[in-house]
Amino acid sequence: MVLVATLVANPSNPVVTPEQVLKVSQAIAVEKIDWLNQGVAVDLHLEHHVSRQAVEEAIREALAGLPIDLVIQPHIGRRKKALLADMDSTMIGQECIDELAAEVGLKDKVAGITARAMNGEIEFEPAVRERVALLAGLDIGIVDEIIEKRITLTPGGKELVATMKANGGYTALVSGGFTVFTSRIGAMIGFDENRANTLIERDGKLTGQVADPILGRQAKIEALHDVARKRGIAETEIMAVGDGANDLGMLELAGAGVALHAKPTVAEKADIRIDHADLTALLYIQGYHEEEFRR
């Protein structure tokens, strides 16, 4: 099996220098160096006989704690044919339910529940119901204002989606959040489809209820199965990205499951973790060069 090690930094802090790459290369057996973006990302094609574990240990020692992400994987099959992405704290920088709660003065309380649910400390579905109940009576029209004034797209997200689509890939936003957000945010980023929970409203106001069934961990797994079946591709040909405990199932099943700036329990279990870079890292680890990016 031919392995490739990809070093990726955040574009705002391009610390993958030629000197650093030389230092890493001297610590391991490298057949070829391929710069994907000078200062930001590089592929190191490894010699056939190397041990993945030994290579990883050597590279991390050479990096000496620099803010550079490392992904080691088989070279063959690294480009994926579909992307499944979580929304909150993944494709955007916020948790939408926390922003809704801010409108009724309960952001701190709801954010605490959200954090525990995302770290797997409490069950996801009951946590959704508990938080939504606190929003009863809120005007649904506030959603547009929240998106306009308080939601920020994670850097690299539009490039990730546009580039994969331009290369024949399919993209799905699969969220444990709500369709009032995913429909708008998914369109802003360019996703082919979006799946999420439905807030029940009456006369323009939230009732404090969410429609069954709640889209949680199992529903994200089923979404991965469904996309693979409908697109006629293997699940190993799918990339999935998320940050919370409800994402772990799809991350474990996907050919490339990426924990992006993830909660501790998620980062520990994921095969691929991106702690420093933005969403363009998901293109670099597929072997895309920066000049191939679509925007």
Q: Residue 263's closest CA among 106, 88, 64, 73?
A: 88
Distances (CA, A) of 270 to 102, 115, 152, 242, 265: 32, 18, 25, 10, 9
Q: Which CATH superfamily is domain 80-295 in?
A: HAD superfamily/HAD-like (3.40.50.1000)
Cβ atoms within 10 Å of 96's Cβ, excluding its own: 25
Active site residues: 86, 88
Query: How far apart (Å, rounded) are the C-alpha atoms in residues 295 and 199?
Result: 32
pLDDT one-digit tens code per residue, 74-102: 999 999 999 999 999 999 999 999 999 99
| CATH of the structural domain 1-76, one choice from 3.40.50.720, 3.30.70.260, 3.20.20.140, 1.10.275.30 | 3.30.70.260
Domain boundaries, the chain: 1-76, 80-295
pLDDT in tens, the chain (295 residues): 789 999 999 999 999 999 999 999 999 989 999 999 999 999 999 987 778 899 999 999 999 889 999 999 999 999 999 999 999 999 999 999 999 999 999 999 999 999 999 988 999 999 999 999 999 999 999 999 999 999 999 999 999 999 999 999 999 999 999 999 999 999 999 999 999 999 999 999 999 999 999 999 999 999 999 999 999 999 999 999 999 999 999 999 999 999 999 988 899 999 999 999 999 999 999 999 999 999 9
Q: Are strands 41-46 and 68-74 parallel, antiparallel or unpaired?
A: unpaired
